[in-house]
Amino acid sequence: MKTHTLQTADADLVYDVHGPLPTTDGRPPLFMIGQPMDATGFAALAARSAERTVVTYDPRGLGRSVRRDRRVDHTPEAQADDVHALIQELGAGPVEMFASSGGAVTALAVVARYPGDVTVLVAHEPPLITLTPDGPAAVRARAAVREAYEKRGWGAGMAAFVAMTSWEGEFTDAYFDQPQADPAAFGMPTEDDGSRDDPLLSDRSWAISDHRPDVDAITAAPTRVVIAVGEESRAVQTGRTSAAIAELLGQPLTVFPSHHGGFLDGEFGYPGKPDEFARRLREVLDGAA
């Protein structure tokens, strides 16, 4: 692995190249992107994709990448521009791409804005919460997570986030009538460290989950777009958002092993099934159903 930094007008983007460039097999590199996950979250999947040249990066303002635009919010448009700049810098496009969570939202924006950049995109569980029938209730649930974080700190906010993302079905009165999630019940700290800048729990990434993809531009692009969902996620929010964007794009969902973090090993808590996930990703990238 070699680490590089691309300096743009308003950010220093740190990225890692796992394998040779140009590639030895003539196949384009495989980009793996997330949000708010940085490159560290793809270590397990990259290790299981050793036959490919894999590129991972830290989005602006996250991990090792420093922003100079004096902003703290995260938008799919700005991140799509960054990914395009990285692809241009490598001179290896168009690329193949696996993108998860907020990174999948960014990747859909890349396809819409730069249709020549990506040959195939596997967009895994994009959290496009306004696309579901209960979008207004989902926005209310998201706001409650921020409120818990602002009032009681990281542990309370994360407990509220886990409660929201593990809720099955639409956000009904039954959801909102629950008592506040107890961080101690999830093994999370109950004390408040005073920080309020978490990109997941604050409103800094709301532009990601509020994003409405340009369906016409995406379907007009030459990119083969695959919307992926974990087999354990079908009933929870990110499973339902995946179904919503797949329907808008006129395609079926493609099922992957495990859950929202199905490609992770145990170092980030609840482990997925990285071996099975990597095999499934290989099949889908190669054109298997």
What is the pLDDT, as a whole number, of residue 269? 74
Task: Answer whether 127's CB lies under 8 Å from 209's CB.
Answer: yes
Whether residue 288 is predicted with pLDDT greater than 90 in this model: the reply is no
- Per residue in 235-281, pLDDT (tens digit) is 999 999 999 999 999 999 999 999 999 999 987 778 999 999 999 99
Q: Using a pLDDT cut of 70, give the percent of the chain over it.
A: 100
pTM over 0.75: yes
Kindly report, residue by residue over 155-177, the tens digit of the pLDDT: 999 999 999 999 999 999 999 99
Q: What pLDDT does 128 receive? A: 98
Distance of CA 19 to the CA centre of its chain: 23
Overall average pLDDT of the 21-42 stretch: 95
**Most distant CA atoms of the chain, gap in Å:** 57
| pLDDT value of residue 289 | 58
The pLDDT of residue 184 is 95
Token representation of residue 255:
């099922």
Cβ pair 147, 124 in contact under 8 A = no
Residue 250 CA to its chain's centroid (Å): 21
Pairing of strands 30-33, 54-57: parallel
